[in-house]
Amino acid sequence: GQQVMQIPQYQHVQEGEDFTTYCNSSTTLSNIQWYKQRPGGHPVFLIQLVKSGEVKKQKRLTFQFGEAKKNSSLHITATQTTDVGTYFCAGPKGGSGYALNFGKGTSLLVTP
């Protein structure tokens, strides 16, 4: 079945450094979504990418969807301590429903 792989599993950066997490799917995706989960919290929707090669920005966050719609990345410029959390990518499981396959997530730790 369709799998979503995410690397790295953990990333520890100094505040101000950049951060990138990568997501790869075993199959072509109709869309890919990114979520952030703060420690002790629940996943919060960040963005959805639909088009091949799409790039979207949210302030310091840049999201990309690959040309083949099988990979995606999230890049954070000049990290802040508020960026701490686990970032998950998720792709549709397929079939007729809207269920998602989540990647294992990248846990970001930012030290001042």
Partner 1 sequence: GAVVSQHPSRVICKSGTSVKIECRSLDFQATTMFWYRQFPKQSLMLMATSNEGSKATYEQGVEKDKFLINHASLTLSTLTVTSAHPEDSSFYICSARDGRGRPGERGGHEQFFGPGTRLTVL
Residues that bind partner 1 (CB under 8 A): 30-31, 33, 35, 41-45, 48, 50, 88, 92-93, 97-105, 107
Which candidate, 89, 45, 42, 95, places its Cα nearest to that of 69? Answer: 89
* 57, amino acid identity: K
Smallest distance, partner 1 to C-beta of residue 2, A? 12
Q: Which is nearer to partner 1, 37 or 77 (CB)?
A: 37
Phi/psi of residue 83, each to 5°?
-80, -5
Smallest distance, partner 1 to C-beta of residue 88, A? 7
Reported as half-sphere exposure (CB side, CA atoms, 13 A), residue 69 has a value of 13
Q: What is the largest CA-CA distance in the chain?
A: 46
Q: Which is nearer to partner 1, 66 or 92 (CB)?
A: 92
Please calculate the CA angle 86-77-28 and round it to the nearest 5 degrees. Answer: 60
Which candidate, 72, 61, 59, 67, places its Cα nearest to that of 4? Answer: 72
Q: Which is nearer to partner 1, 48 or 77 (CB)?
A: 48
Q: Which is nearer to partner 1, 42 or 59 (CB)?
A: 42
Smallest distance, partner 1 to C-beta of residue 75, A? 20
Smallest distance, partner 1 to C-beta of residue 16, A? 26
